[in-house]
Structure 1
Amino acid sequence: MQIPSGKIKHKMEKDNHTYLEVTEPAELMKFLMVKLPTKSRKDIKSLLAHRQISVDTEIITQFNHPLAEGQQVVVNWEKVLIEEQPQGLTIVFEDPYIMIIEKQAGLLSIATATEKEQTAYSILSDHVKKRDSKNKVFVLHRLDRETSGVMMFAKSEKVQQLLQKAWKEAVLERTYVVVVEGMVTKEEGTITSWLTESKAFIMYSSRTPNDGQKAITHYRVLKKNKHYSLLEVKLETGRKNQIRVHMKDIGHSVIGDKKYGATKHPIGRIGLHARVLAFKHPITGEVVRYETDIPKEFLNLFK
């Protein structure tokens, strides 16, 4: 819903700060898009990520933070970091302990024994070292090369260990959107199987209990037509290629995923995107939730 600009007014501007008064309930991102018309959504996300937005003196980093009538939003322009985004990924949230990025499709998460090319990890590592040669990043989880979307890195070994030890409890939600071949008739469902990997690095699914690693995937249909279906998928377990194998299991391979049975390749990439990551912050204890947009090339298939 678009917020009428007349409903939200500047309170004052001084000392490189902009003070905004909220006169009706709104989401923080929508509020700032209206009041900072020269700034793009990406610019505003950067302000949030670099802790330059506060609401009633509390620093806020979540774009969907709810605002109430009578609150004051302050934009601190003094700390604006003019920093190029690294090639192949976008930093969408950062604090002293963690970094959240949005990875492009086609980029490896980390190097493998056979592939040492540029990865999300190496690009981000080089990026933080430009600020200070002592800076490091630490891997917490991976996305398949062909999958785009949200990934999290730790900024110290201590934080990495804290998160990895409590990963199942700390990560509250991992939601993907996926475009599959054909019309999925069942509006929602759960797929459970046991996965094993062949010597050719292909994952196989078994319905026999304990015949591999247990994998559980929940899905619901968001959109569909006679050619494709757009699904929201939530992982209960995070096995290698889990979504891709499970979509093949139900007879609807992920588009572009020739490895797991796809015959259609309409967008030049695999139709899989990590959309939401929500977790309990390892240091502050607050719940952090980052949600990205559904890729336009996915939505264009349903126009």
Structure 2
Amino acid sequence: MTEKERKTRLEVTEPVELMKFLMLKFPEKSRKDIKSLLAHRQISVGSEITSKFDYPLQEGQQVVVNWNKVLIEKQPEGLNIVHEDPYLIIIEKQAGLLSIATDSEKEQTAYSILSDHVKKRDPKNKIFVLHRLDRETSGVMMFAKSEKIQQMMQKSWKETVLERTYVAVVEGSVNKEEGTITSWLTESKAFIMYSSRTPNGGQKAITHYKVLKKNKHYSLLEVNLETGRKNQIRVHMKDIGHSVIGDKKYGSTKQPIARLGLHARVLAFKHPISGEEVRYEASIPKEFLNLFKSN
């Protein structure tokens, strides 16, 4: 196969987002196939490789698809790889999947599934945990591909991570359009987090929220974490009298979608090697939005 055959060059004739452009040019490929090409850094605009599906293309630009190292793999069960480079893997985890194993639960986890997946390519491949999501929380999670990168990022986590934004569906109509919740969190022997508005020797936790949609039954909030404590959003929503739906542990009495109403939507960080700002945004789950459709 010649160099020309290994690459496809496409001219952009009008402004359009990259994903839409590629779907039109390759109708035989699925959306997952295109996302896999992006995740494996096989798409470039001009001379710049991009993995952003919403990259804004302009008339006159050239998009190059590098088929030479195509890795259109089957996505691992329970998660989707949304970005991968030599240093990091970013996934979108489904609700109900543990991030990592616990002493009492050795079942499949996001970590074990992804670890098995990368070892299929090369048995020497490894992944390293950078942070975790609660089992019932879906959304964006990141793993390092070496211990060195893991240590680099964890040591400078506060400076490295620029944004961690969630969406939450909570019970009732939240009157205050936006606000900040600050408290100190401690954990009981039963693994329940307790919140105090005054310092009590616990960990300080700060949560910012903004109402995106609401009706008389529920509110959809954008929630931004200033600190990342265990169960922080869930405890703070209980504190303001609007527990996350499906969260019986922290006061919820409603379970309209058979899952916890919490989704890690945005993760933005400084890349540990390039220093560039990287931002990944997952869609708001349809079952969240369906609760706000007018009858």
TM bucket, shorter chain: over 0.9
Q: How does 1:102-251 map to 2 (within 5 A)?
A: 102-251=92-241
Aligned: 1:99 with 2:89: yes
SS in 1 for 2:258: coil
Q: How many residues align?
A: 291
Deviation track 1:241-274 (CA, whole Å, cap 9, x = no partner) reads 0000000001000000000000000111100000
Aligned to 1:5: none
Instruction: Judge conservation of contact 1:62–1:288 (CA < 8 Å) in 2.
Output: no
Aligned to 1:46: 36
Whole-Å separation in 1 of the counterparts to 2:200 and 2:159:
23
Instruction: Judge conservation of contact 2:128–2:147 (CA < 8 Å) in 1.
Output: yes
Aligned to 1:276: 266
Q: Name the aligned partner's letter for residue 284 of structure 1.
A: S
SS in 1 for 2:170: strand
Aligned to 2:57: 67
Gaps of 5+ in 1: 1-12
Instruction: Judge conservation of contact 1:110–1:120 (CA < 8 Å) in 2.
Output: yes
Q: CA deviation at 1:14?
A: 4.5
Whole-Å separation in 2 of the counterparts to 1:181 and 1:136:
41
SS in 1 for 2:69: coil
Give me the identity figure in percent.
84
Deviation track 1:35-79 (CA, whole Å, cap 9, x = no partner) reads 333333322211111111011122111222232322111112232
| Worse-matched range after superposition: 35-44 or 48-57 | 35-44
Instruction: Judge conservation of contact 1:47–1:80 (CA < 8 Å) in 2.
Output: yes
Gaps of 5+ in 2: none
Instruction: Judge conservation of contact 2:180–2:206 (CA < 8 Å) in 1.
Output: yes
Q: TM-score, normalised by structure 2?
A: 0.95
Q: CA deviation at 1:210?
A: 4.8
Q: Name the aligned partner's letter for residue 182 of structure 2.
A: T
SS in 2 for 1:290: strand
Whole-Å separation in 2 of the counterparts to 1:263 and 1:224:
18
Instruction: Judge conservation of contact 2:36–2:72 (CA < 8 Å) in 1.
Output: no
Aligned to 1:81: 71
Q: Which runs of 4+ in 1 moved over 3 A?
A: none
